[in-house]
Amino acid sequence: MADPIVEVQNLRKTYGPKVAVADVSFSVAPGEIFGILGPNGSGKTTAVECIAGLRDADDGHILVIGIDPQTHPDLIREHVGIQFQEAGLHDKVTVLEALSLFASFYETPADVDDLLTVLDLKDTRDARFKSLSGGQKQRVSIALALVGNPKVAILDELTQGLDPQARRTTWEVVRRARDTGATVLLVTHFMEEAERLCDRLVILDHGRIIAEGSPQELIDSVGDARSLEDVFVALTAKSPAASTTRSA
């Protein structure tokens, strides 16, 4: 594998007595779509927030494009795009205003009109954020993550709230981002999404990695499994993590 663009070693994060992330290690090669899977409460979001420098880790080492985001979060801002589960925009800002503003923060942003088109937001470009549906707000959040042409895009619950057609369209946007040079960290609890998109992935349960590999490698490793969903059910049923305190 090429030198990793993201490297995580022995990451740990706790909230009082609750262990959110426990001794998590993995690396991501440039140009990969790398999945971080697990049920709600498994530590996925906490892990990527530490990777992005948005949350302080208790222990471990992280490098993103060779920079420690825990000590120098400002140095990775230009190179990392993040799609949050909630966009958090002002109610009165329009879709076009938000994208144009975010694009102005970067030296070489993506084409705003192009993003509006591929994410099916062109008809709502002048709509205020408060008037958008949940699915439209989700697509705006994805556009904001990609508008800076990031080297690393962190997409957290990418297609939550989207209908099946919008979900498939969004998958194509992610593939396109990868094909134009971005490395993607995809956080999801949708096993089909991970199986369709990811080159490699880790599965978290109770804050610990219980499996790592390509989707096909993981499917082949578990008996009669035909999908990642089968793998997840089988592994979590016998995971040592299942006997620990539930993570935050």
Which tens digit of pLDDT belongs to each residue from 177-213?
898 889 999 998 888 899 999 999 999 999 999 999 9
Q: Which two tokens stand for residue 208?
A: 């610990």
> 135: exposed, middle or buried (C-beta count within 10 Å: 0-12, 13-18, 19+)?
middle
pLDDT reported for residue 167:
85
Mean pLDDT for 68-88 is: 86
Q: What percent of the chain has pLDDT over 70?
A: 93
Domain layout of the chain by residue ranges: 1-79+150-248, 82-146
| pLDDT of 4 strictly over 80 | yes
pLDDT reported for residue 248:
36
Q: Which amino acid is at 194?
A: A
Mean pLDDT for 8-25 is: 95
Per-residue pLDDT band for 95 (boundaries 50, 70, 90) equals very high
Q: Under CATH, what is the fold of the domain 1-79+150-248?
A: Rossmann fold (3.40.50)
pTM: 0.88
Q: At what angle do helices 134-146 and 95-103 cross, to 10 degrees?
A: 20
Half-sphere exposure (CA, 13 Å, Cβ side) for 83? Answer: 28
Per-residue pLDDT band for 176 (boundaries 50, 70, 90) equals confident
In the block, tokens 């470009």 appear at 125
| pLDDT of 247 strictly over 60 | no
Alpha-carbon distance of 150 to 48, in angstroms, equals 16
| pLDDT of 172 strictly over 80 | yes
pLDDT reported for residue 243:
41
Q: Of 194, 196, 191, which Cα lies nearest the Cα of 230?
A: 191
* Distance (Å) of CA 79 to CA 48, 72, 82, 120, 248: 15, 13, 10, 25, 28
pLDDT reported for residue 224:
87
Alpha-carbon distance of 210 to 102, in angstroms, equals 37
Strands (E), the chain: 6-15, 18-28, 33-37, 59-64, 80-83, 152-156, 183-188, 200-205, 208-213
Using the Cα atoms of residue 132, residue 43, residue 11 and residue 230 in order, give the sign of their dihedral.
negative
Q: How many CB atoms lie within 10 A of CB 111?
A: 12
